[in-house]
Amino acid sequence: MDPIRLAVVGAGAQCTESLMPGIPYIEEIDLVAVCDLQEELAARNARNFGARAAHTDVATMLRDETPDAVMVVGPPQVHLDVGLQVIEAGCHLFIEKPAAPTIEGARQLVDAAAAKGVVGQVGHMMRHADPIRIAADFAAADDFGEVLSVESRYTTWPTRQLSPDKGWGTPDEDWSYMMVQGGHPIDLIRHFLGPIARVAAFRAHGAGSAKVYQVSLESVAGKVGFLNLQDSYNGWTTGLEIVGDKMAIVTVDDLGRVSFRRGECHVEAERGTKGNSTYVWEPHHTLTKWQRSGYGTQLQHFAGCIQAGESPMPSLYDGYRNLVVGQAILDACESGQVVAVPADD
Ligand SMILES: NC(=O)c1ccc[n+]([C@@H]2O[C@H](COP(=O)([O-])OP(=O)(O)OC[C@H]3O[C@@H](n4cnc5c(N)ncnc54)[C@H](O)[C@@H]3O)[C@@H](O)[C@H]2O)c1
């Protein structure tokens, strides 16, 4: 099968450090061009990652290179504006998160892609991280039972006020957090719980931009979840715990170690000890960021779905719904009430 002819818009930090390094390993992708307003960045990434052309103007690139798909990695306003331009040109779209600076903008992308008959994916990469895919396989097995609850812990650098004049859309620190960081753990909990029906939440703001949100969620299917969002640490840590109703639990620590517990004995001497017999998967030291965190595997999934004529995930619709849930969390913090999440539309 022919590889997908991919063009890239944006050659800044995220694209260069996390996304493009995986591309040379993905046989489903043929990298045709890189575009950045800054000519030297476009030329550098085209040279270093094997694209045949470099551009500084998106319209020219779309016209000259006729890609099948375009990856857009810039400020959220660029995701929206260039995303609409890419869709209008009939190309499939991969955009980094957040899909847009506003809920309305994210919805616009969903509707535009549907009208044009192209697919879109948003860069909430954790769904595609190897440890999360392994946990998902455990959770989907018959002997795990129904997923009853999911807890997602997410600790990040304090998100400061973003600058609207640089395409970031809002000076509001809470909404900035939901756009820049909160969308990731929200996407992960939606991945395992399905559509969210209502949320209850508390938040605390501390020194500087430090803040935490503690959120209880109920899914439309009546399952429950907990988001422990800590925007108060000089680093990035994550945790996930999924509970099944056949007395099984799977956890993932820091997108690394996966532990599966079901209280069964593996050797005779365990019987009656009341100990915890645990299956553990740990990443090999050669496992790279593009597999472990999902930055590259998400792009492989995107290209593979286009080849197969399938819809990728997380879709543009997921990107939109992650922002809807983020807003409901902030509304719950503000009101002190349980807040109904607007239904899927
Ligand atoms: N998924 C993740 O874990 C993750 C991590 C970090 C950043 N991000 C996202 O990646 C995005 C980019 O972040 P960054 O740190 O790389 O930003 P950046 O400012 O370093 O890079 C953005 C680049 O886009 C270029 N650009 C802007 N408008 C353009 C246009 N119209 N045409 C061509 N090029 C244009 C700029 O010149 C710049 O080089 C952000 O939306 C951020 O939320 C995601």
- Do residues 278 and 331 share a domain? yes
Nearest to 192 by CA among 240, 236, 230: 240
Note whether residue 29 is domain-resident.
Answer: yes
Is residue 235 in some structural domain?
Answer: yes
Q: Are residues 179 and 276 in the same domain?
A: yes
C-alpha of residue 236 to centroid of ligand 1, in Å: 19
Is 188 touching ligand 1 by the criterion CB < 6 Å? no
Cα 8 to ligand 1 centre (Å): 11
In a shared domain, residues 244 and 275: yes
Same domain, 13 and 109: yes
Please report, for the domain that includes residue 336, its CATH number.
Answer: 3.30.360.10
User: Is residue 131 a part of any domain in this protein?
Assistant: yes
Task: Categorize the per-residue pLDDT at 158 as very low, low, confident or very high, splitting at 50, 70 and 90.
Answer: confident
Query: Which token pair is 56?
Result: 């500084």
Tell whether 24 and 139 lie within a shared domain.
no
Which residue puts its alpha carbon closest to atom 20 of ligand 1? 12
- Domain region containing 111: 4-126+295-316
Q: Which tokens go with 143?
A: 């002997």
Q: Copy the structure tokens of residue 182.
A: 């909160």
User: How many angstroms separate the CA atoms of 83 and 89, rounded?
Assistant: 10
Q: What share of the chain is helix, strand, coil (3-state, %, to 5)?
A: 40, 25, 35
Give yes or no: residues 71 and 33 share one domain.
Answer: yes
| Ligand 1 within 6 A of CB of 105 | no
- Show the CA angle centred on residue 321, arms to residues 319 and 324, nearest 5°: 120
Per-residue pLDDT at 161: 67
Q: Is the CB of 207 under 6 A from ligand 1?
A: no
Using an 8 Å Cβ cutoff, are 148 and 224 in contact?
yes
Question: How many CA atoms lie less than 13 Å away from 184 in the CB half-sphere?
Answer: 27
Q: Which atom of ligand 1 is nearest to the CA of 82?
A: 31
**Whole-number mean pLDDT of the chain?**
94
Q: Distance from the CA of 76 to the center of ligand 1, in angstroms?
A: 8
272 and 172 share one domain: yes
- Which residue out of 96, 236, 293 has the highest number of ligand 1 atoms within 8 Å of its CB and is therefore the one to mutate? 96
Q: Is 125 in the pocket of ligand 1 (CB under 6 A)?
A: yes
Is 345 a domain residue? Answer: no
Do 100 and 140 reside in the same domain of the chain?
no
Q: How do residues 277-301 score in pLDDT, each as one tens digit?
A: 899 999 998 888 778 899 999 999 9
Q: Which of 38, 46, 105 is nearest to 77 (CA)?
A: 105
Residues 258, 137 share a domain:
yes
The CA 256 to ligand 1 mean position distance, Å, reads: 26
Question: Which residues contact residue 50 at a Cβ distance below 8 angstroms, ignoring those fewer than 6 apart?
Answer: 23, 24, 31
Please tell me the predicted confidence (pLDDT) of residue 72: 98
Question: Does residue 65 sit in the same domain as residue 108?
Answer: yes
Q: Tell the residue nearest (CA) to atom 38 of ligand 1.
A: 12
332 occurs within a structural domain: yes
Closest CA to 192 of 226, 232, 143: 226
**CA–CA distance, 227 with 178 (Å, rounded to integer):** 12
236 domain residue, yes or no: yes
Tens of pLDDT, residues 56-108: 999 999 999 999 999 999 999 999 999 999 999 999 999 999 999 999 999 99
**Residue 58 belongs to a domain with what CATH number?**
3.40.50.720
Q: Is residue 223 part of a domain?
A: yes
Number of domains in the chain: 2
Same-domain pairing of 131 and 269: yes
DSSP per position, 227-286: EEEEE-SSS-EEEEEEEETTTEEEEEETTTEEEEE----SSGGGTTS----EEEE---TT
**Residues 310-323: pLDDT tens digits?**
999 999 999 999 99
Name the pTM for this structure.
Answer: 0.96
Residues 43 and 55 in one domain: yes
Q: Tell me which residue has its CA closest to atom 7 in ligand 1.
A: 14
